[in-house]
Amino acid sequence: MIFIACICEATSFNRIIYPIGTRDASGYTLRQERAPARIISADPAITEILFALNLKDKIVGVSDDSDWPKDIKKIERIGRDRLDIKKLIKLAPDLVIVSLDKQRSNLDDLRKIKFNVTSSNETREVTLEVFAVDPKNLSEIFQVIDVIGTITNREHAAYSLTQRMRRQIDWVTSRAMKENRMKALVIMSKRPIMVASDGILSDISKAAGLVNIAARGHSLKLGRDEIMKLNPDIIITSTDVARNPKDIYNNRSFRKTGAGKNKKVVCVDQKLLRPGPRITEALDEIASVAYGWPREKERGEGREIEQTKE
């Protein structure tokens, strides 16, 4: 669970009054005198959140694996798990947002980086400002969107985005209550077979009205006999684990279960499981396979989350 606190002289919902201090997932307090004008994203989920908050014109660098939305291609790349320090300095950002999971061992070194910036004919030395996020479940995705809205002066846009996402989730959850409850297994690994009862994929499966029948925990190893005893009606996994549903329902450990016999397997694109705005698309995919509902695009509602203007 991340802990975030905002220490402000005064705030209003539509306009942040500076200076402010915001605590990140590592316990560091980012102190800001003004809204950032040059932002770097070191993670694709963070990049997607920034675009959804209509911050495209302020993004000067993104991680190498950032690939959505499409008009991201012209933005400078700054590395992936190992960030290119020379590029970071050259881009002179006033805010770098990183994934704590990826940059935990590098955070202290990143926060020691100093570089010169020139404004109004004055050159001054500044320290790289690095803010870390670490969402582990559905609830924390909303927290991260909110806090990124705070540190980028897009609080209202962040609120609008999370409200829209919540409405999409609530629509699926309420409709799923009218369906028969299905037993689900969330597969995190095929060799060995590991399942989870918590985490993002498990959370959105539950939001789709499915009953996760795995014992409590994130990485639990299951044998074939245990799987047969549990006998899931549907299996949820991602493209990181299996190329397609056939890889699961043709697997000898699963093919005699209810899910295997009825070919009830969802293999969610791993990119949709990034902890950001497109998580609702993953939910939509799970619900459509579970209940035979038309996908959101087929309902004419559109799949992409619109950018929110302040």
Assess whether pLDDT exceeds 90 at residue 296.
no
Assess whether pLDDT exceeds 70 at residue 82.
yes
Arch. (CATH architecture) of 180-291: 3-Layer(aba) Sandwich (3.40)
CATH code linked to domain 6-134: 3.40.50.1980
Between vectors from CA 67 to CA 170 and to CA 86, what angle results, nearest 5°?
125
Average pLDDT of every residue of the chain: 92
DSSP state of 232: -
- 308 vs 66: which has the higher pLDDT: 66
- pLDDT (0 to 100) of residue 3: 44
For residue 299, what pLDDT band results from cuts at 50, 70 and 90? low
Give residue-wise pLDDT tens across range 17-44: 999 999 999 999 999 999 999 999 999 9
d(CA 269, CA 149): 26
| Identical fold between 6-134 and 180-291 | yes
d(CA 120, CA 243): 55
pTM of the model: 0.92
Fill in the amino acid letter for 100.
L
Helix extents (H) in the chain: 44-52, 85-91, 100-103, 107-110, 138-151, 155-176, 200-207, 224-230, 246-249, 258-261, 279-291
Assess whether pLDDT exceeds 50 at residue 10.
no
Give residue-wise pLDDT tens across range 154-177: 999 999 999 999 999 999 999 999
Rg from Cα positions in the chain:
21
Name, in order, each residue with C-beta under 8 angstroms of 109's C-beta and a sequence gap of 6 or more.
Answer: none
- pLDDT (0 to 100) of residue 13: 54
Assess whether pLDDT exceeds 90 at residue 8.
no
Asked whether 234 and 259 are in contact (CB, 8 A), the reply is yes
Asked whether 198 and 218 are in contact (CB, 8 A), the reply is yes
Assess whether pLDDT exceeds 80 at residue 301.
no
- What 3 state SS string does 58-97 have? HEEEECCCCCCCHHHCCCEECECCCECHHHHHHHCCCEEE
The structural domains of the chain, with segments of one domain joined by +, span 6-134, 180-291
